Amino acid sequence: MPEQPDLSVTLSGVTLKNPVIPASGTFGFGREFAGIYDLDILGSISLKGTTEAPRIGNPTPRIAETPSGMLNAVGLQNPGIDTVIGEELPAIAELFHGPLIANVCGFSVEEYARNAARFADCQQIAILEINISCPNLHCGGRNFGSSPETAAEVTRAVRASTSKPIYMKLSPNVGDIAAVARACEDAGADGLCLINTLLGMRIDLRSRRPVLANRTGGLSGPAVLPVALRMVWDVFEAVRIPIIGCGGVSNAHDALEMMMAGAAAVEVGAANLVDPLTCPRIIADMPRICREFGFDRIADATGAAH
């Protein structure tokens, strides 16, 4: 085995120096973390979810701690796509010089397509991560990823609007995530990202009211890792396109486990909020983990448990 294992991975023709990607919503646009470590050590960055118009998000409180995790109901707070393209992308280009992932959100099929098309001329954006966990305002508020049909509809619209690789970010709050994944693949997705947060809530015993102003929020953190692993496993068995695994990854062992389940790369979410140095620590530990478990190339770990 070579002294230094090869940590590079490839997603739809896009080469990352390693498989570690801060997840959308937990890293902003990188500015705060750039004051803590050199962002260029990362494989990529999934930028904050972007909608057409600016959003201030949901009312507070919108974050709550849970055993082995956290709930959030931030509500897609972001400055809107004009500001992201005009200000945030030039700023992050000074801080990170690798391929970026834009997280595209929308409240209609048409908005998804318009937003995806807007990123077409952004050279550093290498992959579009299409967040189909957004609420479908024309369908009673259910998210676009709640059924294979609506997931496929968004995929087809985005596919027609851009030539960049599109990775559909799937919601775990469905009965059969493999069916949704197959529908996205059949509709033209280049890859998938899973999982998004699990729906949960907490109650304040003194006020006898939900802790979150929104009542429910998305559960993330170590508590969701076993669920994410199971879903990545199931989807890997169901499709032929690459998967970015996300959900509960906190260390290099978790990352390798996610890859063995079927992920080609791994996003790190809530752990960044607990310890901002989580991603650098995972990357630094990966050569040791590769040697310990017999991988000359980290890419060979993808699906190794199947």
**217: enclosing H helix or E strand:** strand 217-220
Q: Which of 35-49, 129-143, 197-211, 225-239 has the lowest mean pLDDT?
A: 129-143
- For residue 1, pLDDT over 60 is answered with no
Chain segment 148-162, per-residue pLDDT in tens: 999 999 999 999 999
Q: What is the mean pLDDT of residues 205-221?
A: 95
**128: enclosing H helix or E strand:** strand 125-131
Paired with 303 in beta bridges are: none
Chain segment 220-260, per-residue pLDDT in tens: 999 999 999 999 999 999 999 999 999 999 999 999 999 99
CB of 227 closer than 8 Å to CB of 266: no
Please tell me the predicted confidence (pLDDT) of residue 133. 81
Please tell me the predicted confidence (pLDDT) of residue 158. 98
pTM for this model (two decimals):
0.96
Chain segment 39-73, per-residue pLDDT in tens: 999 999 999 999 999 999 999 999 999 999 999 99
Please tell me the predicted confidence (pLDDT) of residue 143. 86
- For residue 279, pLDDT over 70 is answered with yes
Domain extent listing, the chain = 9-57+75-200+218-301
Please tell me the predicted confidence (pLDDT) of residue 2. 62
Please tell me the predicted confidence (pLDDT) of residue 212. 96
Chain segment 67-109, per-residue pLDDT in tens: 999 999 999 999 999 999 999 999 999 999 999 999 999 999 9
Asked if the 9-57+75-200+218-301 domain carries CATH number 3.20.20.70, the reply is yes
Task: State the DSSP code for 120.
Answer: G
**Helix residue ranges, H only, the chain:** 31-34, 81-83, 89-93, 109-118, 148-161, 177-186, 225-238, 252-261, 271-274, 278-293
Q: What is the mean pLDDT of residues 280-303?
A: 98
Percent of the chain with pLDDT over 70: 96
**Residue 134 catalytic?**
yes
How many residues are there in the chain? 306
Q: Mean pLDDT in the chain?
A: 95
pLDDT band at 135 (very low <50, low <70, confident <90, very high): low
Please tell me the predicted confidence (pLDDT) of residue 183. 98
Residue that is written with structure tokens 């609420």 in the block: 135
- For residue 178, pLDDT over 80 is answered with yes
Buried/exposed 16-37: b ≥16 CB within 10 Å, e otherwise? bbbbbbbbbbbbbbbeebbeee
- For residue 139, pLDDT over 90 is answered with no
Q: Which of 105, 134, 184, 193 is catalytic?
A: 134
Please tell me the predicted confidence (pLDDT) of residue 130. 97
| Cα(166)–Cα(251) distance, integer angstroms | 27
